[in-house]
Amino acid sequence: MSVPIPPASSDSRHPSSHSVPEAAPGWFGIDRSSARIALAVAATVVLLVAVASVGLWVDDAQHLRPMLLGVLLALGAAALRWLWQLTRHARDATGSLLRFAQQVARNDGASVIDGRRGDSSTPGVSMLDDMAQGVEHALSERERRWKARARLSADWYWETGRDLRFSWVSDDLKSHMKLGLQPEDLLGRRHDEVEHYAPPEGGWNELNERMARRRSFREVRIEVRRPGRSSVWIAMSAKARRDAEGRFIGYEGVGRDITEQHLAFKRLHDSERRYAMIADLSADWYWETDAQHRITVLGPLAQDLLGDAATQSVGRRRRELNPDGTTEEAWARHEADLDAHRPFRGFEYLMRRGPRGPLWVSASGMPRFDAKGLFIGYHGVGRDITLRKRAERVLLLRNAQLERLVAERTAELEQSNRDLEAFSRQLAHELRTPIGHVLAFAELLQMRGEHLSEDEHSWVAMQAQAARAMQATVTALLELAHSSATALEREAVDLSALALAMIRELPSIDRRAAVEWHVEPGLSAHCSAPLLRVVLANLLSNAAKFTRDVAAPCVALRRLDSEGGVPVFCVEDNGAGFDAGRAQRLFQPFVRLHTSDQYAGTGVGLSIVRRIVERHGGFIRAGATPGVGARFEFTLAPAAAPNAGETTDDAALPPA
């Protein structure tokens, strides 16, 4: 398919890389033959003038006048002949030029130039040859430039006939091939008849009507649906094409691939649509300030919430509008952030809205900079937190009420506990005296009972045993009350030394073999020494008691790995053991897992141990296997840790 050749340009601002060929020999672009005739005519005229002058000025030379007249006639005849030849040459050259111009107009200039070049048979051909070379050079340069521009351009050229169907489409443009179409797919079809062209916005009728009225159009966007590939978009622009007489002969225009621009515009449009939707549904509003932190823009939601106050806010600073909206310290910190151009989040302050009441606002912002990096202000969002502030106020009031109620109930419970402990101590003291009397009288009867029968002796022995049991129970109650009432004064305690001292003080009992004690040296803790003495006394005495029937009894006190940075101490034996599933019951007062016939005791010792350990911010747990042994692990929180308080809920204890 040929490429149309545009008319040569006379613009000399862009010199060609090709030099213009030199003219053939001649004067002023006239061929040699015509130049010679013109020269002869000029010479004849000069001679005629000279001869006439001589005849006029030389009066005495009468005999020369006939000769001069003959010369003048000869020169005149020669001049007329040469003028006739020159006229014929000019007529022939003019006809050749007219025929050449007609052939060039028919787009056949190159063949005419090639045919005329070097032809000397036609008058004026030398001048035509020179002109042909110049025209050929101009046309080739123009065509080369046009082709280069077409190859490098993002556009492609097309033409239609009078029926508005494609009659010519350029085929040297890569962006056109990108459409997945060939020029043959367009030729002979109108825009609305191309299979892969989707209707533009407004439909085909609008474009067809515009073309029917011979109107120009620009940037008509058309989607090209490529089979098996994603669509691309093109923009078509065109104007009506007319002949020399002004008759309409079709359209000429360009097409351009705008896929990237279209997709970028679509992404931007979708982003703006999402932003608009989020802005409509969000509880936040947008705002902007200038470099002096004066409000310049407030979103629609803010205008709805603030009413007239929104208009009054523009051009003023937040602190200027709401000087008492928060504390002076908070305002100072906020303005320090603004002056340092730092981002800020969740700045809360109170806004006054006149008769509409106050509004609590939470503002967050980021600094803005121009292309040169200069600070131009802030932009960010604001949120209405009035309901949250009201809820917080209600919660604070409820919390204050709950704290007051808890304090009252706690005081009542503490008073009840103090009364109960006082009652327990008083009851224990009151019981110790009569129990002591009963035990003393029973022992006295045993010593002086020579007149008693055998049954009476057994009755007195049972009475003494019951009195001793009651005395031990009363003593345990006093120790339990004492464990809660004793002040917790922490100090550095050597647990190893304390354990060895308690082992030496343990009462002797009937046993199968002596206990082998293993106390790890260097054990220490920051705790109350009197209370830890009670803990070790109970745990070590229990271990000694439940290993009395073992052939090789062994009891160990050692430190295990820390849990959360807190050391774990362990008392372990190889005695009778117990059911591990019932371990938590051991720490309840007066609960025993063995009968008193097997192992004597009150069932209060481990309850006392648990209470002391928990007062130190730790925990105690037990594990055992029947017939293999028992293991008790406990922790003591560091001195800096707050006391865990007393807990009697078994579910709060860590698992064994």
Selected residue with higher pLDDT from 563 and 206: 206
Range of weakest confidence among 80-84, 310-314, 485-489, 556-560: 485-489
For residue 240, pLDDT over 90 is answered with yes
Copy the structure tokens of residue 163: 């029926």
pLDDT on residue 410: 84
pLDDT on residue 420: 66
Rounded to 5, what percent of the chain is helix, strand, coil?
50, 20, 30
Range of weakest confidence among 287-291, 310-314, 461-465, 526-530: 461-465
- pLDDT average, residue stretch 454-481: 69
Q: Please state whether 645 falls in left (phi above 0), alpha (psi between -120 and 50) or beta.
A: left
CA 551 to chain centre: 73
% of the chain with per-residue pLDDT over 70: 65
% of the chain with per-residue pLDDT over 90: 17
Q: What is the 3-state secondary structure (H, E, C) of 74-107?
A: HHHHHHHHHHHHHHHHHHHHHHHHHHHHHHHHCC
pLDDT on residue 148: 67
In DSSP terms, 526 is beta-bridged to: 492
Copy the structure tokens of residue 12: 């000399």
pLDDT on residue 51: 61
For residue 180, pLDDT over 50 is answered with yes
- pLDDT average, residue stretch 308-326: 87
Q: Ranked by mean pLDDT, which of 148-162, 248-262, 419-433, 600-614 comes out on top?
A: 248-262
Q: Give, in order, the Cα–Cα distances in Å from 649 to each of 479, 535, 568, 587, 646.
A: 21, 20, 22, 11, 9
Q: What is the mean pLDDT of the chain?
A: 76
- Please tell me the pTM assigned to this model: 0.36
At 249, the pLDDT band (50, 70, 90 cuts) reads very high
Please, which residues have CB within 8 angstroms of residue 224's CB and are 6 or more apart in sequence?
179, 180, 181, 196, 197, 198, 231, 232, 233, 234
For residue 230, pLDDT over 50 is answered with yes
pLDDT on residue 4: 43
For residue 21, pLDDT over 50 is answered with no
Q: How many H-runs (helices) and E-runs (strands) does the chain carry?
A: 16, 17
pLDDT on residue 477: 62
Dist CA 87 CA 92 (whole Å):
9
With contact defined as beta carbons under 8 Å apart, do 379 and 287 qualify? yes
For residue 394, pLDDT over 80 is answered with yes
For the chain, how far is it from start to end, CA to CA, in angstroms? 94
Copy the structure tokens of residue 482: 């004492």
At 441, the pLDDT band (50, 70, 90 cuts) reads confident
pLDDT on residue 105: 58
pLDDT on residue 342: 94
Contacts by residues 499-503 (CB-CB < 8 Å, ≥ 24 positions apart) = 499/523, 499/536, 499/540, 499/557, 502/533, 502/536, 502/537, 502/540, 503/540
